[in-house]
Amino acid sequence: MALTKEHIREALSAIAHPAGGDLVARGCVLNIAVCDEHASVRICMTQGNPSEPQPSRDQLAKMGALVDSMVRAAAKEQGIDALGLIVDFVDHQGEVIMKLKGDAKGVARQQNKDDPKTPTPQNNAATGVPGVKHIIAVGAGKGGVGKTTVAVNLAIGLGRKGHAVGLLDGDIYGPSLPTMLGLHSVEQVVLEGALQPFMAHGVKSITMGKLVDAEKPLIWRGPMAHGAFHQLIERTQWGELDYLIIDLPPGTGDVPLTLAQSVQLTGAVVVCTPQRVAQDDAVRASAMFESLGVEVLGVVENMSYFIGDDGKEYDIFGRGGAQQMAQRLNHPFLGAIPINMALRENCDGGKPTHNFDSKTAGGEMLPKALETLVDQLEAQVMLASMGKGSSKPTLTVS
Residues 97 and 169 in one domain: no
pLDDT at 349: 94
The structure's pTM equals 0.66
In sequence order, what are the residues at sequence separation of 6 or more whose Cβ sits closer than 8 angstroms to the Cβ of residue 43?
23, 28, 29, 30, 63, 67, 87, 88, 89, 90
Phi, psi of 3 (to 5 degrees): -75, 135
CATH number of the domain that residue 209 is part of: 3.40.50.300
CATH number of the domain that residue 107 is part of: 3.30.300
Answer whether residue 392 is part of any domain. no
Residues 86 and 178 in one domain: no
**CA pair distance 336, 325, nearest whole angstrom:** 13
Residues 273 and 303 in one domain: yes
Which residues of the chain, if any, have pLDDT below 50?
104-125, 219, 389-398
pLDDT at 121: 44
pLDDT at 309: 86
Residues 268 and 211 in one domain: yes
pLDDT at 127: 64
**CA pair distance 48, 16, nearest whole angstrom:** 16
Answer whether residue 99 is part of any domain. yes
Burial class (CB in 10 A: 0-12, 13-18, 19+), 263: buried
Question: What is the tens place of the pLDDT at every residue in 91-128?
Answer: 877 778 888 876 544 444 444 434 433 334 434 445 67
pLDDT at 77: 87
Answer whether residue 161 is part of any domain. yes
> What total number of domains does the chain contain?
2
pLDDT at 226: 56
Residues 70 and 140 in one domain: no
Residues 190 and 253 in one domain: yes
**CA pair distance 11, 4, nearest whole angstrom:** 11
Answer whether residue 355 is part of any domain. yes
pLDDT at 134: 95
Residues 232 and 307 in one domain: yes
Residues 57 and 175 in one domain: no
Residues 104 and 167 in one domain: no
Residues 283 and 353 in one domain: yes
Range of the domain at 45: 5-111
Answer whether residue 88 is part of any domain. yes
Answer whether residue 256 is part of any domain. yes
Question: What is the tens place of the pLDDT at every residue in 263-281?
Answer: 888 999 999 999 888 888 8
Answer whether residue 123 is part of any domain. no
pLDDT at 135: 94
Residues 230 and 352 in one domain: yes
pLDDT at 362: 93
Query: Is residue 329 a contact partner of residue 342, using CB atoms and an 8 Å limit?
Result: no
Answer whether residue 116 is part of any domain. no
What is the chain's mean pLDDT, rounded? 82
